Structure 1
């Protein structure tokens, strides 16, 4: 018997008629993305970037769907960002030509993989560096291979994640990098998402302004190896603040500004919906762009038990859906008996989740039956995609027309 993946149906029928979720032609639970939402979201952010005067290098780790990366490139993305070397290799294998490893490149085997990639392909590759030790390791290795490595020096914040913590550390790092001909310093990078809590907006703007000031100092010392060096940052929550700080700079013509949001493409009905609402409150530019980001990821699952009057047990659990930043939200109910598709009542709410089940609170007089289907939206899509080896693509009729392979 051949391998069978969850959320799939009969392979021979996919190319001809597709898999109809509502007529139960797939294994449940099933995860799907709406093509209309992906297209809309890609176009919206591409337009935002154009009007903000920045480039996009969307973070691919959200979906790890190279087919979707290609759609983002077609919509004008400058590059794709990834988080690990295997992610980079898979993206390149699927046709992505310019990638940013938005992370440190650490370890001999990873060095070998990237050196091989750069020697055998025309891939334009960048990685982050934040320590003299890593710079020396990279410099010695890539010099021995006669391969040039594009690097972005990472600037961080106190109590944050990676990145140098001061301009003094940055210039010390730059001095080490310049000892190696194999290291090509192409710009600076940062991640502002670790700046939270009180006065976050003002602190992020100030932080980005400081990063740009450091870049100006390096440029004045002729420390960058390229014209219009790259300055890159921004996740999906604060991209508007980052873009504004970049555009507020008197030195904006000196640099190539690149934003790296990822979750915007899929969006959600949880933390990123809230974050985007805050963007719209802060940014007139975002408000002026027609349409808006829409949630594009949905999971369908069976009601497997009505053991208590006010409780429905759903065949959807931690193995299937994100639960770190909010539990899945019921959106639709479908009854195979009556063939009725309805919006989920507002009182339907997931209250707990286990490995293969979640508990959904319902009204005691609800007509919901075992075998009915419930459609859920999510919060924080990154941690749903990594639970699936294939994701279905649907339009509004809930028929899966094709599947996309994930590469986590």
Structure 2
């Protein structure tokens, strides 16, 4: 049983939770000029591509007969959760119970945890969320975990919705064999604290010489398995969930759900997260693959997240040092210099970064190799950087600036990592 409520001060015990310090009052910079009035480095979201991405992915899901539950751990930004839900999202996916607590406190009431729920302290958070009205789903993949959850939630007098995770050999979590899925479903049926609500999977762990064929087969296995369990009467809900999809192969999962005979009897749910701001790296490349497979999708997603920073030193010919580093931007791939401005100028006066190459990042310094033809480079110049894998940039910031096409700050949003 939960010894006390864990919802009294949401996020208060979590890493990076925001207090009342004046340092957190990012809204003081709302309505200002990013190139003149905002302390840099700063993480920036562009309104126009953001709005495009929200509408694009929601429309994509609906066209494939699926619901959308974006992975909120990508951004942990309540304002983005609200915009995703306002655009039509079915719910928000998260990775941990503290993340769920933070999202619920900001108004997200249907939450899907794409991880196994372990540890009684985490179970206590789940109990409090359910009692407070949260429609919470978690994944399971073992008899031991199911037994522990069943006992804990039965004693607490609440029912936990669970999804059996379908795994693959050499992958991450999840039942490897179909027989194990069925056995786990039968076990759940006999536990008063649990309700089997469907199946969950993640295709990003599928690799090999032909990943497309492997992912299609994995998606078909998800569809076949959820239909089999429903036919055997092992599901505890009227419209069982079947869910998968990251931000790289969502088209393959959506097609399998659309063509799998699920309509009217099941709830297919897609869970991409990075789509909301896209990127200039791994997901830009992944998007090329999606569009090559699906030319009917036309333009696709647009990068919306950038980090703006200033040149702080030109210590020798051919080298610029920028006041930005690993603490400010993701490093799955080195950042990409996109455009340069003079401090205090406007968007009508962009300067070239042609041939500029980021070669090294330290904690708070970026090394840029300048081409011989680079001219007029000055200390104080502002550079917009593209990033790869937005998850690894969002978690470095306590606030983000939403800007229009003229780099005027429209709003400043907190994160709740």
TM-score range, shorter chain: over 0.9
* 1:139-150 equivalences in 2 (<5 Å): 139-150=150-161
| Distance in 2 (alpha carbons) for counterparts of 1:345 and 1:30 | 19
1:332: Cα distance to partner? 1.2
The answer to which of 361-370 and 258-267 deviates more is: 361-370
1:175: Cα distance to partner? 2.2
Identify the residue that residue 6 of structure 2 maps to in structure 1. Answer: none
Identify the residue that residue 144 of structure 2 maps to in structure 1. Answer: 133
Secondary structure of 1:153's partner? Answer: strand
Identify the residue that residue 42 of structure 1 maps to in structure 2. Answer: 54
Q: Does 1:163 align with 2:169?
A: no
| Distance in 1 (alpha carbons) for counterparts of 2:71 and 2:342 | 38
CA contact (8 A) 1:330 1:344 kept: no
Secondary structure of 2:349's partner? Answer: strand
| Distance in 1 (alpha carbons) for counterparts of 2:345 and 2:158 | 65
TM-score normalised by the chain length of structure 2 = 0.91
Cα distance change of structure 1 residues 186 and 401 upon mapping to structure 2, 3 Å threshold: same
| Distance in 2 (alpha carbons) for counterparts of 1:250 and 1:46 | 21
CA contact (8 A) 2:280 2:386 kept: yes
Identify the residue that residue 114 of structure 2 maps to in structure 1. Answer: 102
Q: Does 1:61 align with 2:68?
A: no
Identify the residue that residue 246 of structure 1 maps to in structure 2. Answer: 257
Identify the residue that residue 33 of structure 2 maps to in structure 1. Answer: 20
Q: Does 1:331 align with 2:338?
A: yes
Cα distance change of structure 1 residues 193 and 338 upon mapping to structure 2, 3 Å threshold: closer
Cα distance change of structure 1 residues 251 and 320 upon mapping to structure 2, 3 Å threshold: closer
Identify the residue that residue 388 of structure 2 maps to in structure 1. Answer: 379
| Distance in 2 (alpha carbons) for counterparts of 1:52 and 1:286 | 12
Identify the residue that residue 325 of structure 2 maps to in structure 1. Answer: 317
Secondary structure of 1:294's partner? Answer: coil
Residue 80 (structure 1) aligned to one of 89, 92, 107: 92
1:284: Cα distance to partner? 4.2
Structure 1 runs of 4+ with >6 Å offset: 337-340
| Distance in 1 (alpha carbons) for counterparts of 2:59 and 2:376 | 45
Residue 199 (structure 1) aligned to one of 210, 213, 218: 210
Residue 264 (structure 1) aligned to one of 272, 275, 295: 275
Deviations 1:128-148 (Å, cap 9, x if unpaired)?
Answer: 111111100100000001101
* 1:265-284 equivalences in 2 (<5 Å): 265-284=276-295
Identify the residue that residue 189 of structure 1 maps to in structure 2. Answer: 200
Secondary structure of 1:341's partner? Answer: coil
TM-score normalised by the chain length of structure 1 = 0.93
The answer to which of 363-372 and 192-201 deviates more is: 363-372
5+ residue gaps in structure 1?
A: none
* 1:350-389 equivalences in 2 (<5 Å): 350-364=358-372, 365-389=374-398
Residue 210 (structure 1) aligned to one of 204, 221, 227: 221
Deviations 1:327-355 (Å, cap 9, x if unpaired)?
Answer: 11111111238767325332011111110
Cα RMSD over matched residues? 1.8
CA contact (8 A) 2:98 2:125 kept: no
CA contact (8 A) 1:149 1:183 kept: yes
Secondary structure of 1:342's partner? Answer: coil
Residue 396 (structure 1) aligned to one of 398, 402, 405: 405
Residue 71 (structure 1) aligned to one of 73, 83, 97: 83
| Distance in 2 (alpha carbons) for counterparts of 1:171 and 1:257 | 20
| Distance in 2 (alpha carbons) for counterparts of 1:344 and 1:109 | 53
CA contact (8 A) 2:291 2:300 kept: no
The answer to which of 104-113 and 364-373 deviates more is: 364-373
Secondary structure of 1:303's partner? Answer: strand
CA contact (8 A) 2:251 2:290 kept: yes
5+ residue gaps in structure 2?
A: 1-19
1:321: Cα distance to partner? 0.1
| Distance in 2 (alpha carbons) for counterparts of 1:30 and 1:344 | 21
Identify the residue that residue 15 of structure 2 maps to in structure 1. Answer: none
1:19: Cα distance to partner? 2.5
* 1:275-294 equivalences in 2 (<5 Å): 275-287=286-298, 291-294=299-302
1:32: Cα distance to partner? 1.0
Q: Does 1:90 align with 2:97?
A: no
CA contact (8 A) 2:165 2:174 kept: yes
| Distance in 1 (alpha carbons) for counterparts of 2:319 and 2:23 | 29
| Distance in 1 (alpha carbons) for counterparts of 2:320 and 2:21 | 31
Identify the residue that residue 304 of structure 1 maps to in structure 2. Answer: 312
